[in-house]
Amino acid sequence: MSYTRWWQPVLVGLVVLAGVYFAAPNLFPRTTYDDNNVAQSYVPAPFLQFQVNLGLDLQGGSYRLVRVDLDDAKASYMQDVQRIGSNTLRDQGVALRAIASDTNVRFQFRDETAMLGAREILREQFPTANYTDEGAVLTVGIGDEAFEVVKQETVQSVRDTIERRIDAFGLTEPSIRIQGEDRILIEVPGVSNIDEYLEKLELSIHIVSQAGATRNPNETLFMLLPDSDRVLAAGEQPVRYLIERQECVNGADIQGTGVDAERGIAVTFTLNSRGTKDFANCTRDNIGERLAIVLDGEVISAPNVNEAINTGAVQITGGFEFTEAKTLATLLGTGSLAAEVESIEERVVGPGLGAESIRSGAIACLVAMGLVLVFMAASYGLLGLMANVALVVNLVLLLGLLSLFGATLTLPGIAGIVLTVGMAVDANVLVFERVREEARAGLDPGDSVASGYGAAFSTILDANLTTVIAAILLAAFGTGPIQGFAITLTMGILTSMFTALLLTRLLINLWLDGFRPLKLPI
């Protein structure tokens, strides 16, 4: 009689080989540098994705909790109402004058009839806004329903933009999560300063007023802004431009960016369909005038409009260095933040502390594993040694599973691995105790093993199932370190169930088939 079914070694062998396949890349350094300081890797490219990522607390980096300025989001919404509404109405042949504030936009028309027609057009563009009229003046404000939508969209947009910026600069495995209604948690391993990725970076293009910079500007219609340092010669005094407050396009309309170095270094970008249309209207109506390209409150370039620009292709010049132009193009290409962000909590973890955490965690795992191996061998003899083999395989499978799903290993995650080492043999202890009882009752070795596994199975399943449920809840509702612990623990339970119920039993069955013992050494 054979105790081993044909499918058991096939199934176990395939799973173990898969675990080794996904875990092996972690034995090699992710990146090394040759004598010319060129990055290279010992791991073939297809396997690089199967390396466990180290969390912030293990490789060092920046932790930042920021709050999105919802008042700024409201003001940005009103500016969109002014710009989009004005352009839409003018395309319909409606003459108007629009003045925006942080809370509303006042549209002034020739007469009340024009106002009533314009209100219906604007309602199609902004259905959730508040509308009040008085004579030929229509005031558009932001209502509660509209603000709720703006709030959610703004926070999500800020979160996505920050992630695109960090990804564009090649930073690895950032963790960026929304917390509450207006907060974003940012964790970027390996980076000590992330301020540049949190800049709002407001880009807009305006018409330069024909009146020049000498008149006293009406602040509701014009802005007086300085020229950027990028275009100043040595000893030259800053130039100020009087520009129309209403913008032609802004950073939200930008799609692709690049750097053109053929005839001087320039930043180039293209506009989306809405921006292309608005920019075409703006340049067509102002041929011969100057445009002010404004970045964060400074005019970085003020080119002349020689003809209508209908293609949506724009070029910014201004004495850029190549590195400066490349950085600007990257930031513009990843988008402007939809609102200002304010740092609430900031923490920087040094790489030295992270390396010490890794050493401490590795020592803890080795000590725990060593004690468990000694205990199992001393308590259960040969069967304990088989359980020890399964324990080593369990750690390989756990590492392979973490690698397969691209999990990020944190210090609490290491704690979960240490806990898994103990829990991995817990099922074997339950089984071996039942096997020992059956052997003492007079059953032969094969029947003792089968009866022991059958009797302990329900207990093992219930105990691990309740732990998995708790771990899943921690992963679903916890944040940061709690999630790392819960995810590692869940995967550890799954691998330990496999090694205890299938691998250890396979080893025992193979031993029974090969040696046909009359008595179990337990």
Distance separating alpha carbons of residues 446 and 513, to the nearest angstrom = 9
Where residue 177 falls among pLDDT bands split at 50, 70, 90? confident
The mean pLDDT of 57-62, rounded to a whole number, is 76
Residues paired with 270 in a beta bridge: 313
User: Which of 302, 327, 346 finishes a domain?
Assistant: 346
Q: Which of 13-22, 218-227, 400-409 has the lowest mean pLDDT?
A: 218-227
Say if residue 334 is in the same domain as residue 459: no
Residues 505 and 384 in one domain: yes
Q: What pLDDT is recorded for position 318?
A: 65
Q: Cα–Cα distance between 432 and 453 in angstroms, integer? A: 8
Asked whether residue 473 carries a pLDDT value surpassing 80, the answer given is yes
How confident is the model at residue 500, as a pLDDT? 87
Answer yes or no: is 266 within a domain: yes
Check whether residue 400 and residue 487 sit in a common domain. yes
Number of domains in the chain: 3
Residue 37's pLDDT band, with cuts at 50, 70 and 90, is very low
Are 252 and 379 within one domain? no
The answer to whether the CB of 238 falls within 8 A of the CB of 232 is: yes
Q: Is there a domain that residue 169 lies in?
A: no
DSSP assignment of 36-100 equals T--EE-SS-HHHHTTSPEE-HHHH-EEEEEEEE-HHHHHHHHHHHHHHHHHHHHHHTT--EEEEE
pLDDT grade for 138, boundaries at 50, 70 and 90: very high
CATH number, position 323: 3.30.1360.200
**pLDDT recorded at residue 39:** 44
User: What number is the average pLDDT over the span 342-368?
Assistant: 79
Domain-located, residue 337: yes
State which residues form the domain around 358. Answer: 7-60+350-515
CATH number at residue 90: 3.30.70
pLDDT, average across residues 249-262: 80
Answer yes or no: is 175 within a domain: no
More confident residue, 512 or 195: 512
Cβ 202 vs Cβ 273: under 8 Å: no
The Cα 412–Cα 32 span in angstroms is 27
Does pTM surpass 0.75? Answer: no
Say which amino acid occupies 316. Answer: I
How much is the pLDDT for 362? 80
- Assess contact for 173 and 159: CB atoms under 8 A: no
pLDDT tens digits for 292-329? 888 778 887 788 888 888 888 888 776 677 877 777 77
The Cα-based distances of 103 to 83, 129, 153 in angstroms read 15, 11, 18
Query: What residues contact 222, with CB distance under 8 A and at least 6 apart?
Result: 209, 242, 243, 244, 245
